[in-house]
Amino acid sequence: MTESHDPEQPPVPTRPRGRGAAPSLAQVEALIAVIDYGSFTAAADILQISQPSLSRRIHTLEEALDIRLFSPVGRRMELTETGRGVVAAGRRALAEMGSIEAMVASAHSLTTGSLRVTGLPSLVGSVLTDLVGQFHRAHPGVRAEIFTVDDAEELFEAIRVGRADAAVGVISRVPDDLTAIALPAQEFAAVLPAVAHEGRDEGSDEQPLSAHDLAERTLVTLPRGTSIRQLTESVYRSLGIEPARLITTTQRDSLVQLSIAADGVTVVPEVLARTAPAFGGRRVRLRTPVQRAIGIIHRPEEFTNPALGGFLELVRLRRAQ
């Protein structure tokens, strides 16, 4: 491909001065504009820059590549063989950049993108599903992924290494390199097997949990180190009693059903305790309210994944309601 010599254009150097800085997309764009529009004057007008600025871009591109892009043929400037290869590769680079820009614009508008969220098993089902579900209804084009982790340390590490964009967890001890948006504190209640009382709903108990309720019952709970286990032990201490027997399980979803089947007791978040009647049990309020501070934990980054930004905005709106 050739380009007519423009007498107003400063002559293109016939020999580059040596390798300079890495080529830029602006330089490549200038080269392609000259080829497509036939002259430096027309290309400068299309790019809305001065002709000397356009010439400098071509010059610095040659320096960066350490090659000649044009060679004079009479009064015309013709692309060298290498120059033609640069133009072809440049077109591909500009097309890819256009695709990236379109993808980024789409991500910022939340029509595409991805959101990866994790959490402790006891919180994913009771808190996270509602938030992610609402986010998905608002932005169905964003791919959402949810997974669980076993403990707080694994949760923090998942956020740090980018395995998760955010997590729902206990926020009483969030590391300094992470930050959190507080959610309403989670209330706890006990679950006991149902007993028939005339004129009383078997699904709840008007009297608070007592030491007598616990004295001979098997405690069904999670392993040591989990927040549910720690809070359960605080309930026993407050009543001055030790569990008669113990069943531990790593399956948070089985606590209510297993405790009822074993004629035992469990202490779980209120949202789980409310399912007790479906399994033949009853929810019993605690004598002293027990709560755990929970929230959405994430990295305090200046440049946030657009999907995460939208999700965090939803969390803030829900908190303000």
Q: pLDDT for 59-104, tens place per residue?
A: 999 999 999 998 888 777 788 899 889 988 888 888 787 777 766 7
Using the predicted structure, report yes or no on whether residue 56 has a pLDDT greater than 60.
yes
How many residues does the structure list for the chain? 321
Question: How does pLDDT run across 140-170, given as a tens digit for each residue?
Answer: 999 999 999 988 999 999 999 899 999 999 9
Is-contact 305 145, C-beta < 8 A?
Answer: no
List domains and CATH numbers for the chain. 2-108 (1.10.10.10), 117-183+293-320 (3.40.190.10), 186-292 (3.40.190.10)
* Weakest-pLDDT range from 118-122, 157-161, 167-171, 217-221: 118-122
pTM, two decimals, is 0.64
* 75-78 contact pairs (CB < 8 A, 24+): 75/4, 75/5, 76/2, 76/3, 76/4, 76/5, 77/2, 77/3, 77/4, 77/5, 77/12, 78/1, 78/2, 78/3
Using the predicted structure, report yes or no on whether residue 207 has a pLDDT greater than 50.
yes
| Lookup result for tokens 């209640």 | 189
How would you list the strands of the sheet with 70-73, edge to edge?
2-4, 76-79, 70-73
How remote is the C-alpha of 5 from its chain's centroid? 54
Number of H helices, E strands in the chain: 12, 15
Higher pLDDT, 296 or 48: 296
* Weakest-pLDDT range from 23-27, 264-268, 284-288: 23-27
Q: Average pLDDT, whole number, for the chain?
A: 86
Q: Is the dihedral of CA 168, 169, 171, 174 positive or negative?
A: negative
- The two tokens of residue 76 are 């015309």
- One-letter identity of residue 13: P
Higher pLDDT, 285 or 206: 285
